[in-house]
Structure 1
Amino acid sequence: MFCDQCGCPFYIDERLVATRLLSQKGLFSTERSQTAEAFDVDTQQTVILRVVDSEDPLYVDPLLHAVRALQKIHSGKKVPGIMQLVDGDSYFTYPIRPDEPAAHFMVARKVEGISLTEWIQKNGAISEELAKNWLKQLLNAVDALHHEGYLHRDIKPDNIIVTDDLQLVLVDFDTIFCLSDSYWKTPRIGTGAYMAPEQSSGNPLPTSDLYSIGRTIIEALTGKFPLELARYPNECVVWDREAPRLSKPFTELIDRLANKNLLFRPPAASVALTYLSEVEAIPARKRYWRWLSAPIMTTAAAIFAVSLTIAAVGSFALSQQVQSDSERLIAEGNQLILQGDTREGLLLLEEAVELAPDSEEVRAKLAIAYAFIRDFESAIENYKIALEVEPKNAQYLYEIANVYEEVNLQESIFYYMEAVENSEADSSIQLESLNNLARVYLLTDQLQKAEEVLSRIDTHIEDPITRMTVFKNLGWLNYERANYDIAIEQLNQALEADATFPDPYCLLALIQQHRGEDNYNDRATCVFLNAPPKPEVTAWREELNRVAD
């Protein structure tokens, strides 16, 4: 673009003249890959030139990917917040030097403004209101990007332009990546301080871009580079001390976006936008922010985790009284298992059984521990010993049915039916047993039996998760029978109860797919909402991905 001898600019393709070199630094900026400001003689406008003076795919491919992505993203309605190519010849080749291969050029519209890095250096930390506005802009831009099947992979203040009217524009698409490629193991690309752990390991996901946005907003709120902030021993950044006047819901939303564990991040930009709208719409002190504590375990796993905790804590409470040695061993063993020391914990529980071999309660607590560590065979063995002593104990029947869901669905049906029959005195166990029985019937394509079981359930349910699963099962039943309008109504009722599980989103996306409707938002939430997969969710995701491909 510039003369090697004197540094003077020259005409490119008889219409462009480079006027100012913008950068020679960065992942793809070398003497063979540069960005410059240029003047377009035809349009009399200043534009941005990206040039790759090389045939090396390391430099050429990122440029071509960026061109294709930006053309696709803006092919219909222009997307605010994402850089745009010029109309006409936005990509061409042209020889810079005689007797050498032609260089590759991308021509983009110039965005008037300064980088977010420069803006923060000049103006300091931003307010919560501006942070909400900017977060919404970035999420909308990334949502459009993901909707077209691309990841940015290098969102950071240096790659965001702030205009005079405080609009943000995402630039520098050298790191763009197409989700339809085999991307589960890619080169480590991005900027360390803003890069999600899974992306650093070569496994980028849409939530990886959300992590980068979270880190960027933290920098804007604190005025400090992420690596300058203090850290807890678990490597979580202690940033809110630098911005103490923020509302708790907004702080927690940013924490979720920037969480190193992708299980706790919103599964998609569209979901993050929904969370943000809740933060904006309702005063923080008047709302329980259900989505901030989204579960990451299946229902069965949660049951055993909670049961194990109760067993441990409850037994420790008894320690203030006269407590048997077996109860003490159970409490200590459960605590060790919860802390991750499975081997020592189980040794203490087995010792408790030796001290009280005839106690069905000790056997049941040992079964809970085995189920928690997914040793289902040992869990079933101990539940059966407990049931020999108390064959009509509804709690034990319900729990062994939960375990059998993992290994034998027909046995699970049998024990759920037994739990229903013996739980008249405990309405909560009866409700959960009926609901889980309906789900297993649906899993085994016994739709008529599922309908009969669901008809026994009173849908006036207070517990949000139970209410969600009941309406999800009703929606699932009507989806299988192609009663789509009824299914949509029931699945929306499930989401109103609890919107943190993938199941209703998957079914809604499948219905939209069958109807030929745009199902991107629900499909993305289904695929990327993080929870250990249940067999039906795995099957629904595979069907959605198969059709998307």
Structure 2
Amino acid sequence: MSYCINPLCTQRHNLDNIENCLACGNPLLINKRFRLLHPLRSLDKDPYTYTDIFEVEDVGIVEDEDDSTESYPHPQRKVMKILKWIDEPKLVELLRRESILLQILDHPGIPKSNRGDYFALRLNDNRLELHCLVMQKFEGEDLGKWIKSYGKIPQSLAIDWLSQLMDILDLVHRSGVFHRDIKPNNIIFQPNGKLALIDFGGARDITRTYLAKVSTSGGTSTGLGSGHDITIVRTACFSPLEQINGQAVPQSDFYALGRTFVNLVTGIPLIQIKSDEKTGRLLWRNKAPHIDKSLADFIDDLMAPFPGQRPQNTQVILQRLKSLSLQSKSNRLIKSKKFLFSVLVTLIALGVFGGFQVFFPIMANKLVVEGKKAEIANDSQTAQNYFNQAIEYNSQLKLSVSQFYLEQAARHFNDFKLAKKYYELALKYNDKDINAYNSLAVVCWQLGEVACALNNYQQILKLKPNDWEGYYRLGSFYDQEGKEDLAQEQYKIAIRINKKAVPALNDLSRLRNLKEDYTQASALALEGLRLTEDPKLQAALYKNLGWAKFMQNQYNEAETYLQKASDLDSKRIDAVCLLAQVQEALGKIEDARLSWEICMLARTTQQDVFQWRQELLDRLTNNSKISQ
């Protein structure tokens, strides 16, 4: 069965073997590529339902300007969202923004969408234009359906699911947006046990401009307040008061997340759970007696009535979740007096009957365990005393202690001072760990401690003087510091040691572009492409090659190479920024506009992007002054 895309069609379902709808005559193969298999929501005539959502079959046939085609080995199942009514331009803008976000956000729990997956389609009679967005389809069922089938979830699963969703939400918020519509129906439980967050149609930028609008908005039903246009997205029982009033903030997502988990751990619809008349908080705990107080307190904190009372960012929540995981019932059993007494009795028995040669290794391991507990409790001096005693009994435990500190450093990597402390302690117990030196150098650089970073890169070269990667790391450090000549010197040494050092070839190519040596930049990029099959490295090399061709006014070649770079690695925002400039030069204004929007919105640390953004802003400012 194939469905007609026309929302006004009187008979939308058709047989598979026909090309055009029997009722209205519109093509059933949409954009020469997509076939609508079945609706994922009711095809009702409700005038307030602005979108149809279908599962579609993507046959993958794409025609370009040269009439060349390519197709997938097998048709792929995807999801298509179709905006039916476009009288309100804001709805079109939301769908376009969703398309951009799904191209930018790179996470296995977020649906992927490619640049060609957003398009406008005019029906045969020219009366109606539809805007369509195609995205990845996740197998599984949403948690709204899941909870009806299986009932409330246990505490261990609640912590696991919370951690998964916060990992997704952390990326979303760090990318400069927030979701605004978290609820069980927008979370998919996949067959592999992983969760996915869908429906980014209401997502909003986290910008000072938006937050300024929120602070002054009256939040009317149309989203207009104090002269500002803010589109309201809300779901009964899950949206906080500030969002209902058109003043959503990032912490509004946390409220919706807390409410979602009340639904999951109680198995009861939220509308059936009473609220405290004085505080407005849900009275849910007696309906989930299997949830410990610490987790219940955490969920209540997420749902605090006012945004300022909730956790202020995703990192705070992730840290609390780690603590909650440590307080699981199994860990509490291990920490119980009964368990510790049994361990002590065992150790004494081994000491008496097995002699001290048996007793010492066990005591050493016990001291390491105590040291880890002390460090987690932020008592570093006591921890090191335990570790040093343990090593006296068993010197081989040095590596175990070093590994523990490396894990602590990774866990606290966003707190650079704390991470630095842990990396230094890891190296105290294992001073041959090249990866630890490299990580410590990165942390030192983040802290602005240039001498510390340089010293650690040099330590790596002392340990492995003929290792090209060591010279490449040092070159990258100089590159980040803006010392381009020193960086080139290190990259060249890396290439002399290993002619297949593709990362060094790539970065040297980039620096030659900056030096306006486009011929050498092209040669280095082509050599790198000959040597690697790694998609991300290929993307970087194609970007450098496209950059060089652009600066040599070879626009068609530049467009081809930059498009390849973007297709291979969606995070190569620098390639998109360059592509925007090439498309402008070619007169492809609409394509350039979309590329510029991605360039300006995407979260990135790529140095060149900031320069190109500023150049665009300067150009727009100058044009504005001229027009005035």
TM-score, reference length from structure 2: 0.44
With CA pairs under 8 Å and 6+ residues apart, which has the higher RCO, 1 or 2?
1
TM-score, reference length from structure 1: 0.50
